[in-house]
A and B are shown apart, each in its own frame.
Chain A
């Protein structure tokens, strides 16, 4: 049993109408599985924002795991981690 905090910035806040929420999981959860879960919860907008037609991450999807950009969707998420969905840093 584990629990992670998921934070939604900018376009993801528009989609979910939430700044953050907790997501619980039984044994393990990968980033891919989290995204699939959120795509089901906030369909169709969440999927349109983050995945392309081939089910791959869009180039402008920016996912942080404990402040670090996520390297791969297969990564396992650990109890207590914070995941952020946003557009990447730009401009001013």
Chain B
């Protein structure tokens, strides 16, 4: 097989056994790699009756996309997937890295962990030689320390390490695995790895990639490189990274502040990317072989927040800046380094702490609930202390917050006799996943639908991040998607962000698109998702050059549809239904308080209608469950049969017959 390594590594940590399972060609052709592989492996191998994410029976799958490891700039994404302690549902996180390339060069497409080791261990992969090694000497070590020790022990500086920090070992729900500062952010697979007593995976591969058509790939590489460098956002991301988004969100009147209560914070320019560039950024760095060096390497030379690190994104500068009611950039950089070393997710951690601040503001919690920490807006000392206590489960406050913000809310509700719903309403979240720094009332209704229906909870990375970039007047100005689709979008009036009508067409397309991108292992920063130029046609060309297959962009899209339906079936099996596909309640109840779109709010009835149309468009029931027909059309007969066996599909059919679920 060209393109794929040809082996899936299955590691049983309970028994200490490692199985090298040959990759079935049909599996590769249907699910591509990365996110697609993980989702199907989780569906097939995980018992959905297991509700505790820290059960030894949970499974963690880590896979690079099929295009990872070749010369193509932009292809380097790995995905880590499990039942998530953040949400309790299906969850995953993307990791832009060097590690994935090494894994592919060692000959593997996925590493899947089952069971639980008695002692702390790490997995060492050196081409064909794969072994579990004792990691008791790494207990409690930071990500950077673990990385340095394992590279030294390996004796090869080219070896690459994914590790968990103390937060993962302590089963903090928002813990994640990282390759140094490159985070598999999102759904907390770090705590699951910690519960399995797996500290790290170190890999060195020397076999190279198996490319079907090297000349065609070289040509594709040249063309994509040209496209990337001439793309409208290349100069912005290469100089300022995603932190540039804070500046333009603020100037455009879309920057959430004070946990989405406002759009303003005093002296906000102090956390602009231009300030970062002037004061602390030393250079820009890139992932494996990428032309877009979008990560700041930063140094704070002196003062209480002296630090150095890399990878400070918009989610950090906004989440610990304006959304936390503060603008201390040196403190934010210190926090960013701290999170990366402890192994914690930026988005979830920021949201949890900002929710505490919001409760504090409204008098719902006080020092007796926080072990003495003053959780006022802009209090950076309290933020840093809270993060440390949470990562180490220190004290009652740290221990409770480590379980997740919902557990904390339930505890406060019980302790103070407050209805838990009142507390949870403050959390900007969908399916338990707290939101990144966008506002569903302002980023377009396609974006609102996409966040709400995402298969891993509130997510800007799984479909439409914003409708705003469709506001170009001509189809040829809309980069990265097939021209006929761009024309269709404009004909349907999708360029108006405030309209609800027909947005299901755009959202469904982008969901398939993102599933393809995540499964090929391409960074979204280069694609239509970010207004950049790598199109589905380009992706088909690369895929064909690497694998020797002959896929059209429609064939690739169908793979994306298939992968999305597998994820939706996983969630349906867990119990997810229509009620879980709504934007945060506050966006239906609170108007935007300032800026050019003052007064904007989501309309419940219009959203309901859009959701129903979206389900119809996707071939799902009116409860959001893939129908038997849809699954079979995608070649997922096994899943259709399983859902029938588990009565998920039958129940829905009966409900539809009774008219309970409306016109579907």
Contact = CB atoms under 8 A, between A and B. Distances in A.
Contacts of A68: 596
Contacts of B461: 92
Interface string A66-81: 1110000000000000
Interface string A3-28: 00001011101100001000000000
Contact of B437 (A9, A10, A90, A92): A92
B242 A92 contact: yes
A33 B469 CA distance: 26
B663 to A, nearest CB: 35
Contact of B465 (A9, A84, A92): A92
Nearest to B248: A86
A91 B236 contact: no
A6 B471 CA distance: 24
Interface residues of A, number: 23
Contacts of B244: 9-10
Interface residues of B, number: 44
B235 A62 contact: no
B477 A59 contact: yes
A29 interface: no
Interface string B223-245: 00000000011011001101011
Contact of A86 (B251, B468, B525): B251
B259 to A, nearest CB: 18
Contacts of B254: 89
B469 A89 contact: yes
B251 A7 contact: yes
Contacts of B369: none
Interface in B458-487: 460-461, 465-466, 468-469, 471-474, 477
A87 B251 CA distance: 11
B248 A91 contact: no
Given A13-B274, A64-B251, A67-B595, A89 B468 contact: yes
B438 interface: yes
A88 interface: yes
A75 to B, nearest CB: 15
A92 B436 contact: yes
B251 A9 contact: yes
Contacts of A42: none
A14 B239 contact: yes
Interface of B: 232-233, 235-236, 239-240, 242, 244-245, 247-249, 251-254, 269, 272-274, 314-315, 436-438, 443, 460-461, 465-466, 468-469, 471-474, 477, 524-525, 529-531, 595-596
Given A87-B233, A89-B245, A91-B529, 11 more contacts: A7-B251, A9-B251, A10-B235, A10-B239, A14-B239, A86-B251, A87-B248, A89-B252, A91-B466, A91-B524, A92-B465
9 contacts: A9-B251, A10-B240, A10-B244, A59-B477, A60-B472, A66-B596, A67-B251, A88-B248, A91-B465
